[in-house]
Amino acid sequence: MCGIIGCIGRGGDTKETLLAGLKNLEYRGYDSAGIAFGGETVTVEKREGELENLRRQLETTEAFDGSLGIGHTRWSTHGPPSDRNSHPHMDEAGRVAVVHNGIIENYQALRDELRVEGVEFTSDTDSEVVPHLIARQLDAGKPPEEAFTAAVERLDGSYALAAVVEGEHAIFTARNDSPLVIGVDGDATFVASDVPAFLEYTRDVVYLENGEYAVLRPGNWTVFDGASPVEKVVKTVEWSPEQTGKSGYDHFMLKEIHEQPTALRQCLRGRVDEFGGRFSVDELDELERPDAVQFVACGTSYHAALYAAELLRDAGVPAQAYLASEYALGPAPITPDTLVVGVTQSGETADTLSALREASVRGARTLALTNVVGSTAARECDHALYIRAGPEIGVAATKTFSSQLVALNVLVERLTAATGVEQTRSLISALRELPEQVQQVLDDSKAADVVDEFGDGNAFFFIGRGLDFPVALEGALKFKEITYEHAEGFAAGELKHGPLALVTENTPVFAVVTGDDERAQKTIGNVKEVESRGAPVIAVTDGQSDVERYADAVLEIPRTTARTAAMLANVQLQLVAYHTAYELDRTIDKPRNLAKSVTVE
Q: Is the peptide bond preceding residue 499 cis, with omega within 30 degrees of 0?
A: no
Contact 537, 441 (CB under 8 A): no
* Residue pLDDT, tens place only, 35-50: 999 988 999 999 888 8
For residue 76, what pLDDT is reported? 67
Per annotation, catalytic residue among 2, 7, 267, 381: 2
Rounded-to-integer distance, Cα 492 and Cα 500, Å: 10
Q: Is 348 exposed, middle or buried (0-12, 13-18, 19+ CB in 10 A)?
A: buried
The angle formed by the CA atoms of residues 295, 300 and 301, to the nearest 5 degrees, is 25
Let me know if 2 is a catalytic residue: yes
Domain boundary among 211, 242, 273: 242
557 and 456 in one domain?
yes
Radius of gyration of the chain (CA): 25
Q: What is the amino acid identity at position 149?
A: T
Res 596: pLDDT: 62
Domain co-membership, 451 together with 592: yes
- Residue 90 is classified by DSSP as E
Using the 3D structure, point to which of 436, 459, 480 is the last residue of a domain.
Answer: 436
Q: What is the pLDDT of residue 420?
A: 40
Whether residue 59 sits in one domain with residue 124: yes
Res 311: pLDDT: 95
Q: DSSP label at 467?
A: T
d(CA 374, CA 372): 6
CATH number for the domain including 224? 3.60.20.10
Distance CA 164, CA 144 (A): 9
In degrees rounded to 5, what are phi and psi of residue 319? -150, 145
Q: Are residues 430 and 449 in the same domain?
A: no
Quick one: average pLDDT of 55-65? 74
Closest by CA to 23, choosing from 72, 56, 68, is 72
* SS3 letters across 152-201: HCCCCEEEEEEEEEECECCEEEEEEECCCEEEEECCEEEEECCHHHCCCC
The more confident residue out of 531 and 406 is 406
Which residues, 6+ apart, have CB-to-CB distance to 537 below 8 Å?
508, 509, 511, 527, 530, 531, 550, 551, 552, 553
Reduce the DSSP state of residue 511 to 3 states and report it: strand
DSSP per residue, 283-351:
GGTTPPPPSEEEEEE-HHHHHHHHHHHHHHHHTT--EEEEEHHHHTTSPPP--TTEEEEEEESSS--HH
Is 381 an active-site residue? no
Residues 6 or more apart in contact with residue 333 via CB below 8 angstroms = none
Do 211 and 347 sit in the same domain of this protein? no
Coil, strand, or helix at residue 267? Answer: helix
pLDDT at 600: 54
Residue 396 lies in domain: 249-436
One domain for residues 171 and 141: yes
Give the pLDDT mean for 367-393: 91
Kindly state the greatest CA–CA separation across the chain: 80
Residue 418, pLDDT score: 46
What is residue 82's predicted lDDT score, i.e. its pLDDT? Answer: 84
CA distance linking residue 588 with residue 582, whole number of Å: 7
- DSSP assignment, residue 444? H
Query: What is the domain count for the chain?
Result: 3
Percent of the chain with pLDDT over 90: 64
Higher pLDDT, 188 or 12: 188
Beta carbons within 8 Å of 1's beta carbon, 6+ residues apart: 28, 29, 75, 101, 595, 596, 597, 598, 599, 600
The model's confidence at residue 60, banded by pLDDT at 50, 70 and 90, is confident
Tell which of 212, 242, 272 closes a domain: 242
206 backbone dihedrals φ, ψ, rounded to 5°: -135, 125
Q: What is the CATH number of the domain that holds 335?
A: 3.40.50.10490
Residues 315, 432 share a domain: yes
Query: Average pLDDT for residues 52-75, to the nearest whole number?
Result: 81
Three-state DSSP state, 80: coil
Rounded Cα distance between 410 and 474, Å, is 21
- 103 SS3 class: strand
pLDDT at 446 over 70: yes
Q: Which of 420, 432, 118, 128 is nearest to 273 (CA)?
A: 432
Mean pLDDT of 395-417: 93
Q: Which one-letter DSSP state was computed for residue 544?
A: S
Its pTM stands at 0.75
DSSP string, 486-507: -EEEEEGGGGGGTGGGG--TT-
- H or E segment to which residue 55 belongs: helix 51-59
Query: 585: exposed, middle or buried (C-beta count within 10 Å: 0-12, 13-18, 19+)?
Result: exposed
Pair 496, 350 in one domain: no
The rounded distance, in Å, linking the Cα atoms of 283 and 262 is: 21
> Phi/psi at 370 (nearest 5 deg)?
-145, 165
Q: Are residues 199 and 261 in the same domain?
A: no
**Per-position b or e across 442-472, b if 16+ CB within 10 A of its CB:** beebbbeebbeebbebebbbbbbbbbbbbbb
The rounded percent of the chain whose pLDDT value lies above 70 is 94
Same-domain pairing of 478 and 519: yes
Same domain as 191, residue 96: yes
Same structural domain, 10 and 25: yes
Backbone angles phi, psi at 582, to 5 degrees: -65, -45
Mean pLDDT over 459-470 rounds to 97
Contact 427, 409 (CB under 8 A): yes
pLDDT exceeds 90 at position 372: no
The DSSP-derived string for 362-380 is TT-EEEEEES-TT-HHHHH
The confidence band for 419, taking pLDDT boundaries of 50, 70 and 90, is: very low
d(CA 312, CA 442): 29
Among 47-56, 503-512, 589-598, the minimum mean pLDDT is found in 589-598
Q: What are phi and psi of 585, to 5 degrees?
A: 60, 40
Active-site pick, 255, 399, 480, 596: 596
CA angle 81, 45, 16 (to 5 degrees): 110
